């Protein structure tokens, strides 16, 4: 879901890409009065292969003045070095205005690859995509800023939730998103919560107790985080113990068996553990046909 979550954040706030280009990457843009989404189809050639993640049109009144293509890139894909120039020219031809590209690449190695100049073979036409890496995402710890731009705040939690500032970011975001519609608030809350490590969850719980603006909504997510941590800790303990017992009884485990154990829920792990002593084979423990 990482790719779709990032795309949704930019989709829910069409001006977010332009704001990050200016504020985080220092790319100048002309003054604009609004931003709207437009079709992601940028060419008639192989349409299934030539669709950007998101295309935003910056407006001066009703007139388009800049088209901004947003691409979320989680891995290295050599095909993009051919499709990105095509995106840019297709958008320019369709909207008759200047065009820009923002690549969102959380992984540092992928970000470095994305930022490499793309030689098109046309003299003077070298595409140098601005790349938003994890470190370039602004750290949002001000509740007022989180309320004004909740998508930026959630993106901040995604980028920095496991850092020392993770709890402070979450404490700013959770009360802010309570004013959103229920579905979006729940979605953003889940994204923020799952971006935190155990230390950040514990710190968040301690911080929220002293905040005057603490709400029932925020309390619910802090409690949910604590329960999630406990459940995951219990499952990890069951998983570790089961694999120790199985290795002691049957020797080294096949990769397929390890994958099944790692994916199993706590109740299933407990059921398998009860079978270890009475089973004659690993297959009998894991309900596999002999």
Contact 118, 127 (CB under 8 A): yes
Question: Which carries the bigger pLDDT value, residue 57 or residue 237?
Answer: 57
Contact 91, 67 (CB under 8 A): yes
0.85 surpassed by pTM: no
Please report, for the chain, the start and end positions of each structural domain, with discontinuous segments joined by +.
Answer: 2-135, 143-214, 236-285
- Rounded to an integer, the average pLDDT of 261-278 is 80
Q: How would CATH label the architecture of 2-135? A: 3-Layer(aba) Sandwich (3.40)
Q: What is the mean pLDDT of residues 223-247?
A: 69
Give tens-digit pLDDT for 274-290. 777 677 788 888 876 44
Beta-strand (E) ranges in the chain?
34-37, 54-60, 63-72, 98-104, 118-119, 126-127, 131-132
Q: Give 64-92 pLDDT, tens digit per residue.
A: 999 999 999 999 999 999 999 999 998 99
Token readout for 26 is 């220092």
Angle, alpha carbons 108-113-118 (nearest 5°): 150
Average pLDDT, the chain: 84
- The 10s digit of each residue's pLDDT in 87-134 is 999 899 989 999 999 999 999 999 999 999 999 988 889 999 999 999
- Model pLDDT, residue 290: 44
Shortest CA distance to 25 belongs to which of 126, 150, 131, 159?
A: 131
* Two tokens, residue 209: 């107790």
Whether the per-residue pLDDT at 138 is higher than 50: the answer is yes
Q: Which one is predicted more confidently, 101 or 273? A: 101
Tens of pLDDT, residues 8-55: 999 999 999 999 999 999 999 999 999 999 877 655 444 444 578 899
């Amino acid at each position: 879901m990482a790719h779709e979550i990032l795309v949704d954040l930019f989709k829910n706030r069409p001006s977010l890409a332009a704001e990050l280009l200016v504020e985080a990457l220092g790319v100048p843009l002309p003054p604009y009065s609004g931003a709207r989404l437009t079709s992601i189809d940028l060419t008639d050639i192989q349409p299934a292969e030539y669709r950007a993640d998101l295309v935003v049109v910056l407006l001066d009144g009703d007139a388009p003045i800049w088209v901004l293509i947003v691409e979320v890139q989680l891995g290295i894909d050599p095909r993009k070095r051919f499709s990105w120039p095509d995106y840019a020219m297709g958008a320019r031809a369709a909207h008759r205005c200047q065009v820009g590209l923002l690549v969102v690449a959380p992984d540092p190695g992928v970000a470095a690859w994305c930022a490499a100049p793309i030689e098109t073979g046309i003299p003077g036409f070298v595409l140098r995509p601005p790349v938003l890496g994890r470190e370039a995402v602004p750290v949002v710890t001000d509740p007022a800023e989180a309320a004004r731009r909740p998508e930026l705040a959630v993106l901040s939690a995604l980028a920095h939730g496991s850092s020392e500032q993770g709890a402070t970011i979450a404490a700013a975001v959770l009360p802010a998103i309570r004013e959103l519609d229920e579905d979006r608030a729940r979605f953003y809350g889940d994204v923020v919560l799952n971006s935190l490590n155990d230390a950040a969850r514990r710190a968040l719980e301690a911080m929220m107790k002293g905040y005057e603006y603490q709400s029932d909504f925020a309390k619910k997510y802090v409690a949910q985080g604590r329960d999630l941590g406990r459940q995951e800790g219990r499952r990890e303990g069951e998983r570790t113990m089961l694999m120790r017992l199985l290795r002691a009884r049957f020797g080294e485990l096949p990769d397929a068996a390890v994958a099944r154990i790692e994916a199993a829920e706590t109740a299933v792990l407990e059921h398998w553990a009860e079978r270890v002593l009475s089973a004659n084979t690993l297959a009998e423990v894991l309900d596999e046909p002999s």
